[in-house]
Structure 1
């Protein structure tokens, strides 16, 4: 394919790509122009959208309203995976314009979901993505899982997740104070394990999560519930916390990587679970790690993190350097744009 000045990329997402979720606005730095339809705003529109999308359990509204933009685009990029479903179906049925457009998708929970399904259920789920040409996952271990469930391996690319270094600059370690904090709301968090691991210690953890998540936990005087906060407050918390604790279950997806990478960007000492997915980002020199589900191991690492100033300072230096060197949004989207260009070359 002859190189052009820019390529038009239609983005299908729940919110607005122009607000820069996942750093997608960086695509413009790599010869791509983002096009999209705004989310539904009028009350009647929202009501109709919600009715049909609930009925069919598939995001439909934006995909349909983007038909004209799809005609004008060189490639369609969906995130996350549900946003690709209707375009994939139309493509598999030969319905234009989606039938003629390369379709790529950023994947989050698909590998985890497939692993929980029966073989027949997983096969049915994979067929829904038959129109997808390129799957981006955020850890190498997911490539093998998706391939085992029938997605062609050459369609799956592992990409390092990133962060905005300008928003999470490295802070002076000696200015950190207060309690250690736990932050996050996704389904991979294991706060029950954290509560149990705190028993027998005098450690206090400030917990930032949804009220319903906190309400589901055993009561503990060692957990101080802080609720949800603004994005600016979140940045301040990561930049000033004594340490950031991210307890997560054993997942195919690198659950907790957003908070861990952004915390690491500020130089926060980080304690995470040791999973194959997270090992793509963290190691024994830039973080403390514990075996998922192991209460005793987590307790031991919490005590080490809380009591050893020299250890925290060493972790702070290592993780700040690693995150800024290897895991920025610029690097993430450079890789994605390169893979999309390769896809376009194959399709033309």
Structure 2
């Protein structure tokens, strides 16, 4: 019999509606785990009135997770053997639902809960006594903790005295096929693209580094509000939504910059994966365990809050085109060598799920190999992390 896995995602990521018509499967690539041994279901978005939407969002703001969305999906979750989650907003909510439904933790507990955290560890020191107590209580229902960065995994041990498994996030190579560059020539002025909506993007340092300097022209794509005091004549701020628009922005750029505030959750890694795939050299702030994904020879790393260091890194790339090309080629090769893809990301979940089931004495049958595994068995045999 196959293992029943329920993938619990945020409201708005229902595979039936997310990018409908693009046939991308599940957001984050969990669908790659579907096989004869693993049968996947996904959380569904309920149609709701405007007043109900306001109530759901208000409760989400109060709790820090979307409990109403989870409660609506409880039947499918309770029928599963394992629940996968992508962020703490999903697993905290799932843990509360399981406890309220009498599905407590312990030997033979079902379903198992695979709890992945992203922002939780960064925010933890700011939480008050009540929220910290609640989240610790809910964590007792999490059977396995995972993160997307080694720094977050270390913080799990520091704050909760529990081990966490760092996983490597991956790129959807259908949207961004890996194309190693064969040449790189900077234009004048140097074209800089910066993309992202994460709370830890440091637009201020980027604009201080290159704003109002005619040697650079910048396109900044974000939904975040940029203060009027940071506006600059050579910085175009807009939202480039959709894969086509993102590709147009990457094609336009000479260099991709990922400016960040200190964090522990690999903020900016999606943009770095995309930049590596399209063959653009990168400058990134050296925070958040980004080196888990791209070591120092594959990206130019700079200290946080240092406009001069950021500007110097850009100038070095422009002054040494051959080195910039080598860096971009190394990043593309590294992406492939480490298999930083959504397929591999899903298979890491398969491996961990088997470990969880084995620990419970309920091992599943071997999964049918994916097309990627058949094509590159040696790469998969390394174990994933």
TM-score, structure 1 normalization: 0.88
Deviation at 1:122, TM superposition (A): 4.3
Q: CA deviation at 1:221?
A: 1.6
2:351 corresponds in structure 1 to 338
Change (3 A) 1:107 1:235: farther
Classify the secondary structure of the residue corresponding to 1:235.
Answer: helix
Cα distance change of structure 1 residues 342 and 282 upon mapping to structure 2, 3 Å threshold: same
Matches of 1:216 and 1:116 in 2, distance apart? 28
Structure 2 gap segments, 5+ residues each: 16-24, 362-385
For 2:120 and 2:77, the matched residues in 1 are separated by 25
Deviation at 1:128, TM superposition (A): 3.1
1:27 to 2:24 alignment: no
Displacement after TM superposition at 1:209 (Å): 1.2
Q: How does 1:6-25 map to 2 (within 5 A)?
A: 6-14=2-10, 15-16=12-13, 18=15, 19-25=25-31
Q: Distance in 1 between matches of 2:348 and 2:33?
A: 10
Do the aligned residues in 1 keep the contact of 2:86 with 2:117 (CA within 8 Å)? yes
Question: Does residue 165 of the first structure (1) align with residue 173 of the second (2)?
Answer: yes
Given candidates 126, 129, 132, the residue that maps to 2:136 is 126
Q: Which structure 2 residues correspond to residues 132-211 of structure 1 after superposition, within 5 A?
A: 132-153=142-163, 156-169=164-177, 170=179, 172-174=181-183, 179-198=191-210, 202-210=215-223
1:1-348 aligned within 5 A: 4=1, 6-14=2-10, 15-16=12-13, 18=15, 19-29=25-35, 31-43=37-49, 46=53, 49-50=56-57, 52-54=59-61, 56-92=63-99, 95-96=102-103, 100-117=110-127, 122=132, 124-153=134-163, 156-169=164-177, 170=179, 172-174=181-183, 179-198=191-210, 202-210=215-223, 212-215=224-227, 218-275=230-287, 277-326=289-338, 327-348=340-361
| Residue ranges of structure 1 left out of the alignment (5+ in a row) | none
Which range moved further: 6-15 or 164-173?
Answer: 164-173
CA displacement at 1:252 relative to structure 2: 0.7
User: Larger deviation: 143-152 or 44-53?
Assistant: 44-53
Q: How many residues are treated as equivalent by the alignment?
A: 341
Distance 1:303 1:43, change over 3 A: same
- Mapped to 1, the partners of 2:328 and 2:54 lie a distance apart of 48
**CA-to-partner distance for each residue in 1:254-310, whole Å, 9 max, x for gaps?**
110011111111211111111251110122211111011122211211212233321
Q: Would you say the 8 A contact 1:11–1:17 is kept in 2?
A: no
Aligned partners of 1:238 and 1:174: how far apart in 2?
15
- Deviations along 1:175-223, whole A, 9 cap, x unmatched? 877622111111111010011112567222111112x423455121231
- Deviating 4+ runs (over 4 angstroms): 54-57, 117-124, 175-178
Aligned-residue CA RMSD (Å): 2.7
More helix by share: 1
